[in-house]
Structure 1
Amino acid sequence: MFDVIRIPAFKDNYIWLLRKGASAAVVDPGDARPVLEALEREGLSLTSILVTHHHADHQGGVASLLAHYPAEVFAPAAESIAGASRPLHGGETIHPTFCDDEFQVIAVPGHTLGHIAYYAAGCLFCGDTLFAGGCGRLFEGSAGQMFASLLRLASLPEQTAVYCAHEYTEANLRFALAVEPGNRRLQSRVNEVAVARAKGWATVPSTIGLEKASNPFLRCGEPEVAASARRRVPGAVDEVAVFAALREWKNGF
């Protein structure tokens, strides 16, 4: 089992540093500088880089990291990732050299068409697909693709730790409460997150169980969620249509 270290980057990104002994992997290094600083501070050698999708804030630091460490780079085969040496489609099992753990690669198109997630040792690294309290925008994929991807992640064990790539939780939960104001677990979560953020604490990782209980994008079959969506899009007759209505609503919320 590896340890996970949170590295803040840019305005609200999280880069995840995975440590086992003196070796390390990094997930979605959009910026090399804070990663290099963390490696030096922790006395670690970078052997593996895992990328979920092609957006610059997730892979912009790869080239600079490779100038310092000869790391293997796991990345979506369908997307252009600088320095990628291990192209992946989803469905593979990989063994990054920094540890003995087995990583499952999960195809999660929607935010981008080639987006992938990594699952190992009870930890999910899902980039911009599933957020704490929300989900990513549909920049390339369809609502049907994204909804299927979210259901794929929701099928993981409920205790799975969800390491998403942004600190969006507070804003996401404001929207969730507008969608499902009668959800008592959501109400409690809103209060818990407000306290955490007031103290400057991170709200990530979440868990699959918590997301299923309070994230509207994983609750499209719940009567209150569906009713809220249908007030905006009366023709939202199935869960995919409910999801599409929610995602469009969130875009302008």
Structure 2
Amino acid sequence: MIGIIGAMDVEVQAIKNKMHNIEEINYLDSIFYKGNIKEKEVVLCKSGVGKVNAAIITTILLYHFDIDFVINIGTSGGMIPSQETLDIVISDRVIQHDFDTSYLDGPEGLGIYSQSDKSLGDKIKEAFDKNHIEANIYFGDIISGDKFVGDNSLIKDLREKFPQAIACEMEAGAVGQACEKFSIPFVVIRSLSDIVDKDNSENDFLKNVEITSKRSADMVESFIENLA
């Protein structure tokens, strides 16, 4: 069974539109949609925005369902100036950029790192190539924190601390850490709604979130269809 987690209603609805035989299940006032995509059994849920919400929903999901692996879907902001909206990012590692005990622990205290499953990332890339999607695809580190990244000073600080980051968002780091605790493989696939250091990134996010949510859902559907 595949677990799929999105942060917002628009992200979850884009996946739900791909599902059939849907059954709604309620745990702790959280709705889980159990059904099928391309004959594969999936459980879809909304975390809400932020790392605490993401950690809670991932824990409930993995405790109550027999999940083989987790896909965290939706939108993110691009960290590479040459990126364009609608480009696709796939996680190598996810990093909680706002975890910082470096004052006490030195450089090792900066960030919590969780490793994505490489084979899942490779299969998503195969689905991307097979479907000839008109976008660029990036593999790399996705950074997470409990703040929308739009301020120039924050962007500069994050680039200095995490120069390898390809995208930023607000949930994936917590999803990854919870999955590691349960020894469940995970991967993050996001479509870029904005590029953080381009003008009007907040407005770009609001304008593009529905389009990028659909793009992310299309990628997940293609990936599931290509599973052996």
TM exceeding 0.5: no
- Give the structure with higher Rg (CA): 1
Q: TM-score, with normalisation over the residues of structure 1? A: 0.28
Q: Which has the higher strand share?
A: 2
Q: TM-score, with normalisation over the residues of structure 2? A: 0.30
